[in-house]
Amino acid sequence: MNSDVALNVIQNIHEALIALDFKGHVRFWNKGAEQLFGYQKEEVLGKMVPFISRDSFFELEIAFEKALHAKSYTFKTQKRSKQGTFLELLVTTSPLYEEANIAGITAMFLEIDSLKKATFIPYNLVPFLRESKRTFSELRDIILFTLAKGKMTINHIATESGINWRTVEKHLTYLIGKRLVQELFSSEYVRIFELTEEGKKFTYEIKKKELAKIIKKDEA
């Protein structure tokens, strides 16, 4: 198969496939990615990948670190399409080569709901599809990562994090008690929260520890 035919196949496969340089700029965006995320390739080529926010950039950092060691990385994540559709995804990244040099990463995205219904699931992906109840600590970390974007209401946090708003409310009370979150405004209908300075430092340290833990586990 020559390179033109191979590129045409990759461009038109159903699965969403993209390529990024080490700055997070889009180098390749196939039709599967257009359908999944709602962005046409003309909208994103050469620009920062549109669905990565400040609180989830650590996912790219881990993928970049593994790529520099010529390794792949598979993880679950949640993203929103251009139209606002909430997507639960399984992502596999691999090094992007230009001649003999690693120039970034490729990433394939699979919708978890669709993958669960598939007749055949690759054995290496099965562990990622098992449902596991998140601990209080994990839920609180997700809320903190979400609030790292800035000031938010309870409903906004719930929408961005995918956590039920009642659960968000309960854990915010705990986080306020720990002085990691502060309530900026409260009325009968709206409550607005943000991270404290201590909360920002705490969230940053969590990200560093998680990154170090994954890299150490991979190198062991």
pLDDT at 169 over 80: yes
| The model's pTM | 0.58
Per domain, the residue ranges of the chain are 3-132, 136-204
What are the pLDDT digits (tens) for 36-49?
Answer: 999 999 999 999 99
Q: Given this chain, do its domains 3-132 and 136-204 carry the same CATH topology? A: no
Whether 175 shows a pLDDT value over 80: the answer reads: yes
Q: For 190-215, how does the pLDDT look when each residue is reduced to its tens digit (9 = 90+)?
A: 899 999 999 999 998 887 776 666 55
Instruction: List all residues 6 or more positions away from 78 whose beta carbon is below 8 Å from its beta carbon.
Output: 86, 87, 88, 89, 161, 162
Pick from 112, 36, 125, 103: nearest CA to 77: 112
Bridge partner list, 28: 19
CATH topology for the 3-132 domain: Beta-Lactamase (3.30.450)
Strands 26-29 and 16-21: antiparallel
pLDDT value at residue 124: 55
For the beta carbon of residue 57, count every other beta carbon within 10 angstroms.
Answer: 14
Closest by CA to 107, choosing from 80, 68, 78, 67, is 67
CATH classification code of 136-204: 1.10.10.10
Mind listing the pLDDT tens digit for each residue in 83-93? 988 888 889 99
Percent of all residues in the chain with a pLDDT value above 70, rounded to a whole number: 80
Tell me the pLDDT band of 1, cut-offs 50, 70 and 90. Answer: very low
